Amino acid sequence: MIPEEVILQDPQFKESRLESLYSNFNHLKENPEGLEANVTAWKALLLDAKNKCPDQFRDKVAFDSDSLVDQFSLPSKGLVPKGLNKVIDQLVQERVLVPYSQYQQDKGLLGRVVGWVFGPRYQSGNDDSGQLRKGEHFVISSELSRWSRELGSYLNNNSPLVKDHLLDLASKDLGLSRFDIECCLICLERERKVAVEGPVVRFLDETQQEVQLSPEQVESIATLKYSIYKMTKYNDETEKKVHELEARVREYVKKNQMIRAKSELKIQKALSAKLQKSTQGLENLVLLLYKIEENNNNMLVVKTLESNSKILKSMNEQVGDIASVVQEVREEWGKMDELSEHLGAIAADDSSIDEELELLEKEEREKSEKKEEKSAEPEPHKAYEEPAAVDGAVAESELLERFNKLKLPSKATEEKELENPLPA
């Protein structure tokens, strides 16, 4: 049963609407908007509860009509849903759900479309009481697609398998029920992903270059795998019993109950001997399976080499006579070399260009000689040398020295010169 809090926490299932939502909706025939609101609320709750409470449903890919009404009842409020049949009918019409009674009948795509469009509208239960058909399952399209992919991937890694072996493995490893597996196998078989041949399920993969085996060989390998599985399971259980018996024998000896200890010890010895033989048999089966797989791989390698060698042979046949091809290539190369030589021998009349180059060379030579003559002439004496430009304190000291040299003679010297203006 779905926990009541999951239902009551849904914003569409308010306390004020519960009576209407749990009714048979017959009073809403004149109120299409109210009827649509109730159906929409239930559609959302059904799919949401399936995701939130997966453990409350026996099957992963479908709703069970025998338990659906009880699962969504509210015992604390005395409410039982009486309009689920109308909700289911609407989901079937929208192809969100598919009744299993229709799904297992393969009408082909055209037949299914014609049935949806022109066939009678599906009725899942009684409009007054809301009771659903007994023994019916309503397959959820999205969940069926999801789990079919999971099962297909699982089969791809373990194919081929006896169906009973697949049921045991998939229920344990994927958590699928027997009904889930049956639905998924139907889906995969219609999609040409698997082949169900008698008791054997085989995955089909056209992209893999597997060794072609006869149906008898495939069944033999699947049976071998199932035998290994069952013997492994039996050995595990037997070994557990042996350990339990050993513990009981020790306990009886400790309590000095020797008669019971002796009896349990005999059983333990017998089981141990049986376990030893079974383990040896299991070892032989496992080695046989490994040899088959090894041989399968070897044959696959040989087939791959054969196919690729045929490709190489076909490619080499397209090449033709290699020697003649090489000779033709060499002849063509010779023609190209000869053409290049002829083209290199063709030259234009360059006499005018040569004369112009000689003239330019002469002019450059004369310019060079004039420069050399000019550099050989002595430089004219300079009346004075302009002081080189110096920086900072050196320039200032030189200027002061020159200024002192330019000072006028003293006054005594002037007077002496004026007294003797003429030479003696």
pLDDT surpassing 90 at residue 41: yes
Q: Between 379 and 413, whose confidence is greater?
A: 379
Give me the pLDDT at residue 373, please: 78
Residue 160: pLDDT over 80:
yes
Tell me, yes or no, if the pTM score tops 0.75: no
Higher-scoring residue by pLDDT: 129, 181? 181
Q: Is the pLDDT of residue 413 over 90?
A: no
**Residues 316-330, mean pLDDT to the nearest whole number:** 75
371-397: average pLDDT? 57
pLDDT higher at 158 or 353: 158
Confidence (pLDDT) at 386:
45
Residue range 90-108: average pLDDT? 87
Is residue 385 exposed (0-12), middle (13-18) or buried (19+ Cβ within 10 Å)?
exposed
Q: Does residue 220 or residue 308 have the better pLDDT?
A: 220
Q: Which whole number is the average pLDDT over 373-402?
A: 57
* Average pLDDT for the chain: 82
pLDDT at 388: 47
Tell whether the model's pLDDT for residue 183 goes beyond 70.
Answer: yes
Residue 30: pLDDT band with limits 50, 70, 90: confident
Output the 3-class SS for the chain.
Answer: CCCHHHHHCCCCCCHHHHHHHCCCCHHHCCCHHHHHHHHHHHHHHHHHHHHHCHHHCCCCCEEEHHHHHHHCCEHHHCECCCCHHHHHHHHHHCCCEEEHHHHCCCCHHHHHHHHHHHCCCCCCECCCCCCECCCCEEEEHHHHHHHHHHHHHHHHHHCCEEHHHHHHHHHHHCCCCHHHHHHHHHHHHHCCCEEEECCEEEECCCCCCCCCCCHHHHHHHHHHHHHHHHHHHHHHHHHHHHHHHHHHHHHHHHCCCHHHHHHHHHHHHHHHHHHHHHHHHHHHHHHHHHHHHHHHHHHHHHHHHHHHHHHHHHHHHHHCCHHHHHHHHHHHHHHHHHHHHHHHHCCCCCHHHHHHHHHHHHHHHHHHHHHHHHHHCCCCCCCCCCCCCCCHHHHHHHHHHHHHHCCCCCHHHHHHHHHCCCCC
Assess whether pLDDT exceeds 90 at residue 153.
Answer: yes
More confident residue, 196 or 128: 196
Phi and psi (nearest 5°) for 37?
-65, -45
Mind listing the pLDDT tens digit for each residue in 286-319? 999 999 888 877 877 887 787 788 787 777 777 6
113-124 tens-digit pLDDT: 545 554 567 888
Name the residue among 180, 169, 175 with its Cα closest to residue 64.
Answer: 180
Would you say 79 and 4 are in contact if contact means Cβ atoms under 8 Å apart?
Answer: no
Q: Which pLDDT belongs to residue 185?
A: 95
Q: Looking at the DSSP assignment, which residues form a beta bridge with residue 63?
A: 138
Looking at residue 424, its pLDDT comes to 39
Contact 123, 62 (CB under 8 A): no
Residue 362 · residue 370 · CB < 8 Å:
no
pLDDT digits (tens, 9 = 90+) for 80-98: 999 999 999 999 999 999 9
Taking residues 48-55, report their average pLDDT. 91
**pLDDT for residue 385 is more than 70:** no
